Structure formats: C-alpha cells, structure tokens
Structure 1
Amino acid sequence: MTDLSQQGRIALVTGASRGIGRACALGLAKAGAQVIACARSKAGLEELDDEIFAATGRHATLVPFDLSDGEAIDRLSAVILERFGRLDSVVHAAAVLGTLTPVTHHEPKDFDKVIAVNVTATWRLLRAIEPLMRLSPSGRLVVFTTGASVTKGRAFWGLYGATKAAVETLVRAWADELDITPIRAALLAPGAMRTRMRAVAYPGEDPMSLPHPSEIVPLLLELLEPTREPPAETVAFHREKAQTV
C-alpha cells in the first residue's frame, strides 16, 4: 500500500540533489508532500524534479543555493512563509566531509568551510525554520548524523566528527526547548550507504555492497509521521526498529 502520510504537508529537504537527500525528497513527494528541494547543484535539482514529476505528476519547488550563505537561508524562510504559510516536515541531509586527516593537519580555510556548512548552517536553518514550524499543527524535523564512533573521536575523522557532535547537541537542545510545542525532532544515523561521500571516505569499498539511499525512506517517513511521537534521540538504520543509541 502506498504511504501517503505526508499528504498535504509542506516539506523542506536540504542536500536534495544527490544521495540520501535526493532519496528523501523523492520519498516525501511520493508520500504526498509538496517538496521544497535545496542544494548547490541546479542541474541536480532539475533532475530530481523530473523524477518527482514522473512519479507524482507534481513539480517540486527548487532552491539552488549554498547553505553556508546564512542570509540566503533567511531569505528562503521569508519566501516559504509568503508562498506556503508554514513548514510541516524538514529533512536536513546536507553536509560536507572535508579532508580525512590528523586534527593538526587541517588548513584553516578548509576547517572553516566544514564548520560553516555542517554546524553554522544547521544553526541558521533551525533559526529560520522554527517560526514556520510553529505554524504547523505537527512540525517534524529529521537531521542526519553519523555513527557514535565518529562523534566520540576517531583518528582522521576529528573535524567531521566534531561538527556532527555539535549538530547533535544543537538539535537536542532545540528539541528540548520546544518540548511544550507540537514540534518534534529526531537525529538519524543511517549507517553505511551507497553515497558519494561514502565513496570518498572509503575509496576501496565496493559501493554495490551497500544499501541504496532509498532504503532509508520508510524509516524517514515513520519519523516524520505527524500522528506519531518520534524518538528524541539518534536512531540507527541498521537496527530492526528505530531505537536510541
């Protein structure tokens, strides 16, 4: 049976031009949502829109921009308010890996870029979407994170792990602050998946041995279900059921 749990909902997806973000945007559209797809690649977003239209007969709203542009995030919030009046579901999948190298080997320029995209942009996004999600009867946010071995400190993964640990702390605090509202948030650690970022991090790995990003969609839709209370903590895709880790 087709999942239409997002029917009539307004959904924002970052990192939507490829990988997990693209799979999530397509899955949300198939579940009935009006998707607002964000990514740096205009061509990638147009390809996504073609796929969404072929599957649903509806077009997505495409917003090509760099998440490190905080003012652009604020402008996006204003446009969404004017056009749609609220946000119901938000999926934050955009992130950059940076260079896997010893902590003291990072160049300041590269260090600042990873912090800007992974941490500062997440804070700017939370700041921008909160007023829109307060206008929804059941706002839901899913933020993609990574495994505990990375966020707790793993050789060569220091910068990326530090950004994800910071993101987890920000999202948990934000969710706690909004506990008295209908807004709920979840952190999702998908495990190893067939993505470009994974291929860069593990160049010798056979990508066909990994799950396709589309396999995360059923769990994502469960976490975004407006009538359910999603877990407040990180959930792991490789577990049989969503549970805290």
Structure 2
Amino acid sequence: MTDTQARPLEGRLALVTGATRGIGRATALALAEAGAHVIATGRTQGALEELDDAIVATGATATLVPLDILDFAGIDRLGGALFERFGKLDILVGNAGVLGPMTPLAQIEPKDWEGPLNVNLTANWRLIRSMDPLLRQSDAGRAVFVSSGAAHKARAFWGAYAVTKAGLEVLARTWAAETANISALKVNLINPGPIRTRMRARAFPSEDPSTLPAPEEVAQAILALCLPSFTQTGTLYDFPTRSLKEFPAPA
C-alpha cells in the first residue's frame, strides 16, 4: 500500500466541531489517521487535550480550539485565524449538536427551543459564512454535516431536534446547489442512525448500547465523504442502510 493510499488526506486541513466525544471525536481521529491536520473544536479543554494525545499517537498533528459553538463571534474569529495561518481549509465536518427538550411542542419554553435551533442550525450557517471562502481555496474542499433520521419523521416529542435537523439538511443542500458549478467544493450530509453515544443514551435510556454501532464505525463513512475522490455534492449518506441518497435537482 502506498503512502497516498494509507494516508489519503496527507497535507490537508480538517475542521471538526464537537470533537471532544462521540462521533466528533471518532471522526477527528479517523481524519488524523488518514493524514489530515485536524483543527478540533470543543468546549472542554481537558477533553481536547486528550484528543490531541490520541491524534499525536497516530503520527498526525492537531490544532486545539476551545470554542462553544454558540459563540458566533468566535466562529468568525476562527475563520480569520485559519486564513491568517493556513490561507485555506480542505475539510469541514459540522458535527456539534444537541438533542434539546423531549416534550410536546406547545410545552417547550422559548429558551429551550432556541438552544437546539442555535446549535444545530444557526451555528452551522455561521460556519458556512466563515469557512466558505477558505474551502473555496482548496483544490478539493469537502463539507459534511451530521444530520439525523429524525429530520424525515414527525415523531411526537422530538419536535425541536427534528425541525433543526430538517433545517440543517436544507441549509447544506442549498449551499451545495450554490457552489455546484463554481468551485471544487462538495457539500454533503450523513445520517448516522442509532450510534452508541451519550445523546442516544439520553433519548433511549432503556436501550442496550452494546447493540449499537460504535462512533468509530460511522466515522469511517464520514471520512469517505471527505476524500478528494468523493465528487458528488448535495447528497445524504444513510449509514444504517449504507446507501447514498440523491435529492431531486432544484427546479
């Protein structure tokens, strides 16, 4: 196996949000093992440092960014800092997300509605706004957003989460349509399905986590969407069925 095959992201820069645990952490490690320099964001300094140790152990390097994804001005500063240091970005993985209240829509407090709306949707728009110019400087910019099967269902009590994930899908697909013919940037989504994470345990506390795939498994699927060789845009990869869904072209 050649170095290119073993480390297909060698020399590339990858930003991962929510990188301190679960799918985000596993994805950061997968990208590092593939050769990328990982820019990892998260709220907990200690967890970021543990991630850094794991990344260094793979032979890769990382830049740690303690950042609450709700610090929108901080996202703007991060974009400026990446431009000053690197002049480009090759990969964006929008993973940070929250479940929000599991309660009837009519009983959600405004502040509890705004939380998932800002984390799951608005923060990703702010990332697009800050990182789009950097990704356009890459010869193969890739953006992947972590969605959910809840975006396609109207399950009782899941309203806040489902609405924000549905919005995220339209957000990503719109960006894909806007960039489809004018840059090398490809924008896609992934539905991880049931995965052994803290969020899943909160939503389904009686479920046996040992029956679920580990975050490391879905991280490999996210890695595949980040490769320069993946050239489709505006699609959703459904991890449970291992299938790629293409949406109808906009009229």
Q: Same fold (TM over 0.5)?
A: yes
Place the TM-score, normalised by the shorter chain, in its bin.
over 0.9
Which residue in 2 is equivalent to 1:171? Answer: 172
Which residue in 2 is equivalent to 1:141? Answer: 143
Shift in Å at residue 232 of structure 1?
A: 2.3
| TM-score, normalised via structure 2 length | 0.93
Shift in Å at residue 127 of structure 1?
A: 0.4
Which residue in 2 is equivalent to 1:83? Answer: 85
Map 1:185-224; keep pairs closer than 5 Å. 185-224=187-226
Shift in Å at residue 222 of structure 1?
A: 1.6
Pick which of 130-139 and 214-223 moved more.
214-223
CA deviations on 1:16-62 (whole Å, 9 max, x unpaired) are 00000000000000000000000111111111111111121x43100
Which residue in 2 is equivalent to 1:229? Answer: 231
Which residue in 2 is equivalent to 1:42? Answer: 45
Which residue in 2 is equivalent to 1:51? Answer: 54
Give the alignment partner of residue 119 of structure 1, picking from 115, 118, 121.
121
Tell me how far apart the structure 2 counterparts of residues 203 and 227 of structure 1 sit (CA, whole Å). Answer: 39
Which residue in 2 is equivalent to 1:24? Answer: 27
Please say if 1:66 is aligned against 2:68: yes
Tell me how far apart the structure 1 counterparts of residues 152 and 18 of structure 2 sit (CA, whole Å). Answer: 21
Shift in Å at residue 186 of structure 1?
A: 0.7
Tell me how far apart the structure 1 counterparts of residues 138 and 16 of structure 2 sit (CA, whole Å). Answer: 16
Shift in Å at residue 84 of structure 1?
A: 1.2
**Equivalent AA in structure 2 for residue 6 of structure 1:** L
Which residue in 1 is equivalent to 2:14? Answer: 11
Shift in Å at residue 242 of structure 1?
A: 3.3
Tell me how far apart the structure 1 counterparts of residues 146 and 100 of structure 2 sit (CA, whole Å). Answer: 17
Tell me how far apart the structure 2 counterparts of residues 3 and 109 of structure 1 sit (CA, whole Å). Answer: 46
Tell me how far apart the structure 1 counterparts of residues 64 and 245 of structure 2 sit (CA, whole Å). Answer: 33
Shift in Å at residue 108 of structure 1?
A: 1.1
Shift in Å at residue 218 of structure 1?
A: 2.4
Shift in Å at residue 244 of structure 1?
A: 4.1
Which residue in 2 is equivalent to 1:92? Answer: 94
- RMSD, matched Cα: 1.4
| TM-score, normalised via structure 1 length | 0.95
Alignment check: 8 A CA contact 1:231 1:243 kept: no
Tell me how far apart the structure 1 counterparts of residues 6 and 198 of structure 2 sit (CA, whole Å). Answer: 28
For structure 2, list consecutive stretches of 5 or more residues without a partner in the other structure: none
CA deviations on 1:108-131 (whole Å, 9 max, x unpaired) are 111111111111101101000000
Shift in Å at residue 216 of structure 1?
A: 1.3
CA deviations on 1:151-172 (whole Å, 9 max, x unpaired) are 4321000110000011111110
Please say if 1:106 is aligned against 2:108: yes
The change in CA–CA distance for 1:159 and 1:240 in structure 2 (over 3 A counts) is closer
Tell me how far apart the structure 1 counterparts of residues 20 and 68 of structure 2 sit (CA, whole Å). Answer: 12
Shift in Å at residue 228 of structure 1?
A: 2.7
Q: Secondary structure, in 3 states, of the residue corresponding to 2:64? A: strand
Alignment check: 8 A CA contact 2:39 2:65 kept: yes
Pick which of 17-26 and 110-119 moved more.
110-119
Alignment check: 8 A CA contact 1:224 1:230 kept: no
**Equivalent AA in structure 1 for residue 43 of structure 2:** R
Q: Secondary structure, in 3 states, of the residue corresponding to 1:242? A: strand
CA deviations on 1:205-224 (whole Å, 9 max, x unpaired) are 11111111000122222211
